[in-house]
Amino acid sequence: MSTSTEVLIQGGGPAGLATAIALRLQGIACTIVDAVEPADLDKACGEGLLPDALCALRELGVRVGPTDGYDFSGIRFANTTDSVEACFPDSAGIGVRRTLLHQRMRERAEELGVRMMWGSRGKPLTANSMLVDGVETYFRWLVGADGGASSIRKGVGLDAGTVRSQRFGFRQHYEIAPWSERVEVYWGDHEQAYVTPIANNCVCVVLITRDAKANRKNILEGFPELAKRLKNAPVVTQQRGAGTVTRRLKRVTKGNVALVGDASGSPDPITGEGLAISFRQAQALAECIANDNLKPYEKMHRSIGARPHTMSLLLLAMDRWPRVQRWAIRALASRPELFEELLAIHLGVESVLRFAWRRGPLLGWKLLAPRSVGKTLENV
Ligand SMILES: Cc1cc2nc3c(=O)[nH]c(=O)nc-3n(C[C@H](O)[C@H](O)[C@H](O)COP(=O)(O)OP(=O)(O)OC[C@H]3O[C@@H](n4cnc5c(N)ncnc54)[C@H](O)[C@@H]3O)c2cc1C
C-alpha cells in the first residue's frame, strides 16, 4: 500500500500546524504525522502569546477569540527589592491554555483540508518516502516540526550549531482571579517564575531553572511575594515539566528537508517568543516551498530568530549573574521608560541600533557603576 503528499510534516505541535495551515493557504497539499493523540498534547508552556504571535495567528486565519483566554497589556519584572513594568507599544497579548490553542489551530487546519494523522509515527525509507502506520508515504518535501529533540534534525545531520544554555521548566495552574494585566516575571538567583493570566479565574505559573533537582513539589519556594499571593489558590492541573535548550543551528535545510519551530533551534523560554517565531518561520517556509526553493529559508529563518536570540542572551546573562540582574532591575525601576523601550525592542517595534545609539553608552556606564546606579540614572 502507498500514498503520497506534496509535503510531509513530522510533528503537529504549534509549528507543524502553522506550517500546514500556511502551506494550504498557498494551495499546497500536506500531511501531518504526530506520535501523540491531540487529547494528550499538553505541554509545559507559559501559555503567553505576545502581540506578534497573535498577529501571525490572525494572518493564518486561526481564530483565538477574547473568550479563549485573558488579555495582558505588558510585562512586569520583579525581584525581592525592586519591580518595574511597562505596556506593549500598541497591542495586547493573550494568555491561552495550550490545549485550547492547539484545538483552535487544528480546527483551522481541518477547515483548510490538512490531512492529520495523530498517534502515528513515521519511519524514513528513502529521501522521498516514509513508512507511516505501515503505509509507504511518498512526499516531495519533508518538514521536521518535531520539537526540541527532533529526530528529523538528527536523522539528516542538521544538529551542528551552538547550545547556549540548558534549563528546566515546570508548569502549574492555579485557580485565582488574575491580579495583574501584565505577565509577571519574578527573578530569583538563577531561576525565574513567571505568571500568565489565562482566564478570569486562572493563572499559569512556570518556574524556569538551571537546577534539574529543583523542588518540583513547590515551584514557588524561592519567590515569597508570589507564594503569598497564591497561598490559598487551589492547584488545578497536574504539574508538567520540560527540558529547554537555547540553541542556534548552522543550517535548517538540507536537500528536500527543512526544520521549523523548536526543531530548528529556540531562544530561552523566558523570552516568551517561542510561539511567535515558530509561526513566522512556518509562514516563511511555506512561501519558499511554494516557490520551489528552500534556499531563501535559511536567511529568513536567521532573520526571524535574530532579535529573540539577542534578547535571550541578555536575559540569560541576568539569570547567570544575580548581581547584574539586581542592578538591571533597580536601574530600570528608576527609569521605567527605559524598560518600555526595551520591551518595544523585544517586540521588534523599536530597533536595537537606535536604542543603543541613544541610550547605550550612558546606560552601559551606569550598569558598570552599580554603587551609583540609582543616583546617576537620573541623568540618562
Ligand atoms: C517551560 C516553557 C515555557 C514556555 N513558555 C512560552 C510562552 O509563554 N510563550 C511562547 O511563545 N513560547 C513559550 N515556550 C516555547 C514554546 O512552547 C515552543 O517554542 C513551542 O512549543 C514550539 O512548538 P513546536 O511545534 O516547535 O514544538 P512542540 O510543541 O514540542 O511540538 C512538537 C510535536 O512533535 C511531535 N513529535 C515529536 N517527535 C515526533 C516523532 N518522532 N514523530 C511524530 N511526532 C513527533 C510531538 O508529539 C509534538 O506534538 C515555552 C517553552 C517551555 C519549555
**Mean pLDDT to the nearest integer, 245-259:** 97
Q: Whole-prediction pTM value?
A: 0.93
Per-residue model confidence as pLDDT tens digits over 330-368: 999 998 998 999 899 888 887 777 777 777 776 666 555
Q: 122 forms bridges with which residues in the sheet?
A: 132
Phi and psi angles of residue 40, each rounded to the nearest 5 degrees, phi first: -105, 10
* pLDDT at residue number 102: 97
Reported as type and span, the H/E element at residue 130 is strand 129-132
Q: DSSP letters of 11-53?
A: --SHHHHHHHHHHHHTT--EEEEESS-GGG-------EE-HHH
Residue among 20, 22, 25 nearest 7 (CA): 20
**Which residue's CA is minimally distant from atom 18 of ligand 1?**
274
Reported as type and span, the H/E element at residue 325 is helix 322-334
**Mean pLDDT to the nearest integer, 196-222:** 88
Give me 108's grid cell: 483551522
213 confidence band (pLDDT: 50, 70, 90): confident
For the chain, first and last CA: distance in Å? 70
* pLDDT at residue number 374: 47
Q: Cβ atoms within 10 A of the Cβ of 24, count?
A: 21
Residue among 62, 36, 31 nearest 49 (CA): 62
Q: Reading across the β-sheet that carries 69-72, which strands appear in turn?
A: 48-49, 93-96, 69-72
377 confidence band (pLDDT: 50, 70, 90): very low
What is the atom index within ligand 1 of the atom nearest the CA of 47?
8
Radius of gyration of the chain (CA): 21
Using CB distances shorter than 6 Å, the residues near ligand 1 are 10-16, 33-36, 41, 43-48, 53, 121, 145-147, 151, 169, 206, 242, 244, 261-263, 266, 269, 272-276, 278
Give me 236's grid cell: 488545578
Report the residue among 9, 208, 262, 311 best suited for mutation to probe ligand 1: largest number of ligand atoms under 8 A from its CB. 262
**Which residue's CA is minimally distant from atom 9 of ligand 1?**
272
CA of 276 to the centre of ligand 1 (A): 12
**Which residue's CA is minimally distant from atom 4 of ligand 1?**
45
CA of 245 to the centre of ligand 1 (A): 12
* pLDDT at residue number 354: 79
17 pLDDT higher than 70? yes
The residue with cell 509545559 is 44
Question: Counting Cβ atoms within 10 Å, is residue 190 exposed (0-12), middle (13-18) or buried (19+)?
Answer: middle
Residue 130 and residue 119: Cα distance in Å, rounded?
16
* pLDDT at residue number 46: 96
Cα–Cα distance list, 251 to 256, 265, 297, 299, 305 (Å): 13, 10, 10, 10, 13
Residues 52/348, Cβ–Cβ less than 8 Å = yes
pLDDT averaged over every residue in the chain: 92
